[in-house]
Amino acid sequence: MKKERQFRIIYILLNYKKVDKTVLMNHFNISQKTINRDIDDINIWLNENNENNENNIIVNDNEIEFFGKSMNILDKLQLDDNFLLKEERLLYIYLTVSKDNCVTKTQLVDDLDISPNLFENDLKNLKQILKKNDINLFITKYGVKFSTISSESNINILIELTINHLLFKKVYSILKLNKIEKLFSNYIYNFLKSKYNINIYNKIFYWILEYTSNQINMSNLNVIILSIKLTFWLNHKNNQSILNKVDYIEYYNEFIETIKSIYIKDSIDILFEDSGNLLQNKLVINKFIIKLINDIEKLFKYKVKINEEIIERIQNHISSNLFITNKDEFILEEYSKNLSNYRDKYDELWNVINSNVFKYFKEFNNYELLSYEIFIHILVWYDSYIYSLDFKILTVCIGGMGQSAMIKNHLNSLYRNAKINNMSYSMINIKELKDYDLVISSIDLSEYNLSNLLVLPILMLLSKKNEVHKIICEKIYRKLIGIDMKNSILKKENIKINQSAKDKYDAIKQCGKLLEELGYIENKYIESMLEREKKYSVYIGNYLAIPHGMNDEGVINDGIVIIHFKDPIDYDSNPVHFFIGIAAKSDNHVEILANIAEKMMDIEYVENLIKNPSEDLFVKEFNF
């Protein structure tokens, strides 16, 4: 298992170069110590197989990165027939048993040089693939054998096993290695070549690649999968005449014309623009694009228009990637982890994209990947949109005009179309402040209660362009959709009034359960909230307690809940009517929590809330 996992890690790093450490650990379900040991072992292997020691893997706190020449490693891996990974072992077992009708388990275990337990797991996996084609795998006293396999079922099984093997090696490796013979161990390749003419894949791949680049939009992965399907189906007895012609075909258009008459129990409609299925799919994509763009522009209150370039980009991306039948689980995990913060910040935008993708494409295997990738396209567009936006910014600093003028010039270099003015704190006019889309100040202006205010230290403004741009993008986004950040956290459903609890721990559990029901936390975060109470009191006075976890482990999204208890909870001899539960991965909650805490410090205000509680009142008061 250890060696298999380490080879898989190598392929992932060769393809993605840099990966998130936590994602890799979760993908293989291993600890930090184990991943560190694996990387140490892999580095030893890399050094042993490279004279110049130019290949190396570096691990830091958050990322694992490969440095060096990937081709050298790919070539070395291809030449190593001593250890086959699971996908190729399944191919070996299937080909061997199909050829000999019945093979002893001992012979297969010895041939593959693996443990009996690992072999049993391989048989379970192979059984699942065979079952899809109504084929049974038997273990008899004579060995392993299959039920009768038709030509069609045999081809379908070979296609699935081969594609699984190739996709494990990832698209980058396949394209880099270039030739089909480099993608298999020598034994497997020679077997597939002699019985299934696998060597014609190289020609077919380049013909389809050339055809699609000139005629239709198709991803490299789809070209690879389609080429494998055609390669095996050409070996069917009904396609013998077409197979005989392949050696004499010179140009891709000849090949495309020839395979229009192919016998195939699979869809290759994607190759033919005039096919009914493809035309239907194009209609669905067009409907999706119209609905998506309208919903996004509606979200932005029709103040923003998505340009034709990004629409075409999204359309092409869907056309080339939608029909991939195999999805990359690892990249899905990477997207989920690395885009989680953007999903939180642009939650409404994400929901518009995700709900539309689900509505139109849920029957396709890779619709989840599609949601993330369209989200990335829109975020990139929005980022460039902000840089070119014609909007009004005011910069405010204390003292003379020097600092605010310096910030103004700095922002002018970033936002060429923006109208940027500067003002000293002593010259502030509240009416004038509200006329700006954004007021950026290096000092606190909270007394003016401005929804367009962004307080940033001057050093951050001048030294961290990317971080500042990110914050400005988020602030403008909230303004465009007409929602303050705090409003997206505290909602009516986050509030319960006139509840009861037997003690403070029961009250904290109720806060945790509400946070869990609303999707902010996993169940384990509730234990963390209780653990904090055991170590540090969360009672802050004036009938108020603010329970939260020891850390952000178990937090899915930022969230706040408020529970009002009609009868006060005894909190170490202090009466408490309000429990405010917090789940936080970022500082989104800080502004609203500060507002709640400030108002709850007024005892008369609190006593009035106790007498006259309502969800609407809480939303109105605490969201300003």
Strand runs labelled E in 503-548: 539-541, 544-545
Active site residue 469: no
Alpha helices (H) in 389-425, listed in sequence order: 402-414
**From residue 531, how far is each of 229, 315, 511, 536, 591 by CA, in Å?**
56, 50, 14, 9, 25
Cα angle 246, 250, 254; round to 5: 75
Distance in angstroms (rounded) separating the CA atoms of residues 459 and 442 = 9
Residue 126, burial from CB neighbour count under 10 angstroms (0-12, 13-18, 19+): buried
Alpha helices (H) in 518-585, listed in sequence order: 524-535
Distance in angstroms (rounded) separating the CA atoms of residues 219 and 55 = 30
Instruction: Output the six-digit token pair for 620.
Output: 């109105």
Cα angle 419, 386, 349; round to 5: 140
Instruction: Output the six-digit token pair for 365.
Output: 């295997």
Catalytic residue among 548, 564, 577, 589: 548
Distance in angstroms (rounded) separating the CA atoms of residues 554 and 149 = 49
Distance in angstroms (rounded) separating the CA atoms of residues 476 and 273 = 42
Q: Which of 54, 47, 49, 52 is nearest to 69 (CA)?
A: 54
Q: Strand pairing partners for 454? A: 440
Distance in angstroms (rounded) separating the CA atoms of residues 269 and 280 = 11
SS3 302: coil
Q: Are 413 and 393 in contact (CB under 8 A)?
A: no
Cα angle 232, 236, 242; round to 5: 90
- Beta-carbon-side half-sphere exposure of residue 209 (alpha carbons within 13 Å): 12
Distance in angstroms (rounded) separating the CA atoms of residues 294 and 288 = 10
Which residues are tagged catalytic?
Answer: 548
